Amino acid sequence: MAVATEREYGLFINGAAVEPASGEIRELTEPATGDPLARAAMAGPADVDRAVEAARAALGGPWGKTPPNERSRLLQALADAIQTNRKELAELEARNVGKAISSVKAELAQSIENYRFYASAIASIAGRSNPVGGSLLFYSLKEPVGVAGQIVPWNYPLMMATWKLAPALAAGCTVVLKPDPATPLTALRIAELAADAGFPEGVINVVPGDGPSTGAHLVRHSDVDKVAFTGSTQTGGEIMRLCAETVKRVSLELGGKSPSIVFADANLADAIPSSVWSIYYSAGQSCEARSRVLVERSAYDDFVSQFAQHAQSLRVGDPLDAETQMGSLVSATHRDKVHAFVETGRGEGAEVVTGGEPDNGRGAFYPPTVLANVDNRMVVAQEEIFGPVVTVIPFEDEKDAIRIANDTKYGLFATVWTGDPARGHRLASRIKAGQIGINTPYTAFPGIPFGGYKQSGFGRELGLETLDLYLETKSVLVSTSPKPFNPFGL
Ligand code: NAD
């Protein structure tokens, strides 16, 4: 089924698509072609207020009384609805973001599994009881934290919405989700599908809008209990400051400059194409993109030339073509930002082995680019470029590899390629990152905690521990003594 283009999308508040009080409707275009895609309503502060009010009312209404097994059933029903509508959702996401549809399909499959994982994980929400001594009984209760304000970026709009929604709903919270204003369409469709699947009104509200106005208003709102944010480290810091005003719970998934570390004893036939995938998947617009490839000096020259050949062979083009491996970037503005980084790299003395010039056609395309002879202290090795640009950096030995890997303000992911299993584990324990891959490029799976060390943020998503971000623990003490308690002897 072809997606109805130029459909108008309202905000999703209290179980229905509604007109924005802001009156703002934005024209969205496809980044890969520049063609019109849809018209989408943008929320302003008054719309956020309305959404938070609906979310608060739902907590005090039927949703607050929905038992865990019913919440689990609803999450499964939403997973089924996404599965049924996957073709429409995949096309919508590919058009909105410019991303290759083959990648979107993988993200959709993971998203469906994520709802199913949290549908099962509900069974793990439990308090505990342990002996206190004397005549006291103690037990704890797990309660939903309340209304969750969730803010997601443009690079994986559907999957990021899923990572946020599934654990919050499993925990019994209600949600006001703010997608990026450029990429709100699949989150809005998911809210519609959730309503059709039976989620009560007000449980899921979606309010696309600009960050510093709409997003900041949501974060500061006194009736929002918890904020979950995915985006840049700079904005994450600002969100933390805003949360401090009302001592709000906050979790942050931020940027990265993650390394692939390739030792000369690695199976290069696996390490090279996997490292290519690790940076060019989603055109490098991934927080966990392995944008620094550290290669042992003795294998460096051969690695760079083989890596560049693979990069050149990638099929870049129409996001809707099933054969495409890399689509466009999210916008022409972003493409220009990426190119400016490459120019900075040239100025710093990096060698552009392949790519490095923007495609001047209609779409926001940028070629897979390889920067060699990079020093880890260069801007291109320290700053998140968030595009299809890799920096390849030589290292001398294991100690040097660990030093360079950790020489960054970020700590999201690291992949180690080695033929020596013990070395893989040694590096896993010494690299300061939330996730380590040993001889595998893969990163995110439902059930496996995902999140950052250092300025890549804190709090883990995708895992059982994520539920705790959306739960309060209440301790209850009960006297079992037949005698009155009279400590002052009154
Ligand atoms: P961004 O920080 O500019 O925007 C992210 C979201 O925050 C958007 O919805 C935006 O509208 C909103 N926002 C911006 N300013 C705000 C403010 N002052 N108050 C409230 N909301 C505000 O990030 P981006 O450039 O759009 O996204 C890319 C970033 O996201 C990259 O740094 C990437 O690494 C990161 N990311 C991290 C993960 C992870 O799991 N760690 C996953 C995906 C993306």
CB-based contacts of 65, cutoff 8 Å, min separation 6: none
> From ligand 1's centre to the CA of 153, what distance in Å?
5
What's residue 356's pLDDT? 97
What's residue 429's pLDDT? 98
Question: pLDDT digits over 348-375, tens only?
Answer: 999 999 999 998 778 999 999 999 999 9
> From ligand 1's centre to the CA of 10, what distance in Å?
22
Task: Give the torsion sign (CA, 415, 419, 423, 424).
Answer: positive
Residue with the smallest CA separation from ligand 1 atom 32 is 232
> From ligand 1's centre to the CA of 107, what distance in Å?
18
Question: pLDDT digits over 113-145, tens only?
Answer: 999 999 999 999 999 999 998 899 999 999 999
Q: What tokens appear for 380 in the block?
A: 């291109």
For ligand 1, what atom is nearest to the CA of residue 178? 9
Our answer on whether the CB atom of 216 is closer than 6 Å to any ligand 1 atom is: yes
Question: pLDDT digits over 291-309, tens only?
Answer: 999 999 999 999 999 999 9
> From ligand 1's centre to the CA of 488, what distance in Å?
56
What's residue 2's pLDDT? 39
Our answer on whether the CB atom of 386 is closer than 6 Å to any ligand 1 atom is: yes
Flag whether pLDDT at 7 surpasses 60.
Answer: yes
Q: Is 126 helix (H, G, I), strand (E, B) or coil?
A: coil
Alpha-carbon span 230 to 469, nearest angstrom = 14
Flag whether pLDDT at 5 surpasses 80.
Answer: no
Residue with the smallest CA separation from ligand 1 atom 9 is 180
Rounded to the nearest integer, the mean pLDDT of the chain is 96
What's residue 329's pLDDT? 97
> From ligand 1's centre to the CA of 237, what distance in Å?
11
Residue among 111, 114, 155 whose CB has most ligand 1 atoms within 8 A, to mutate:
155
Q: What tokens appear for 316 in the block?
A: 């870049």
Q: Is 438 helix (H, G, I), strand (E, B) or coil?
A: strand
For ligand 1, what atom is nearest to the CA of residue 181? 11
Flag whether pLDDT at 104 surpasses 50.
Answer: yes
* Residue of 194, 229, 195, 233 whose CA lies nearest to 215: 229
Our answer on whether the CB atom of 231 is closer than 6 Å to any ligand 1 atom is: yes
Determine the distance from the C-alpha atom of residue 106 to the mean position of all C-alpha atoms in its chain, rounded to a whole number.
15
Which domains are present in the chain?
8-254+456-475 (3.40.605.10), 259-438 (3.40.309.10)
Alpha-carbon span 31 to 375, nearest angstrom = 33
Question: pLDDT digits over 387-436, tens only?
Answer: 999 999 999 999 999 999 999 999 999 999 999 999 999 999 999 999 99
What does the buried/exposed string (b/e) look like for 19-36 if buried means 16 or more CB atoms within 10 Å of the residue's CB? ebbbebebebbbbbbeee
What's residue 362's pLDDT? 82
For ligand 1, what atom is nearest to the CA of residue 210? 11
Our answer on whether the CB atom of 153 is closer than 6 Å to any ligand 1 atom is: yes
Our answer on whether the CB atom of 253 is closer than 6 Å to any ligand 1 atom is: yes
Our answer on whether the CB atom of 383 is closer than 6 Å to any ligand 1 atom is: no
Q: Is 33 helix (H, G, I), strand (E, B) or coil?
A: coil
Residue with the smallest CA separation from ligand 1 atom 12 is 211
Residue with the smallest CA separation from ligand 1 atom 35 is 231
Our answer on whether the CB atom of 238 is closer than 6 Å to any ligand 1 atom is: yes
Instruction: List the strands of the sheet with 11-13, edge to edge.
Output: 16-18, 11-13, 204-206, 174-178, 147-151, 226-230, 249-253, 457-458
Catalytic residue list: 253, 287
What's residue 1's pLDDT? 35
What's residue 4's pLDDT? 45
> From ligand 1's centre to the CA of 154, what distance in Å?
8
For ligand 1, what atom is nearest to the CA of residue 242? 19
Residue with the smallest CA separation from ligand 1 atom 44 is 287
Flag whether pLDDT at 232 surpasses 90.
Answer: yes
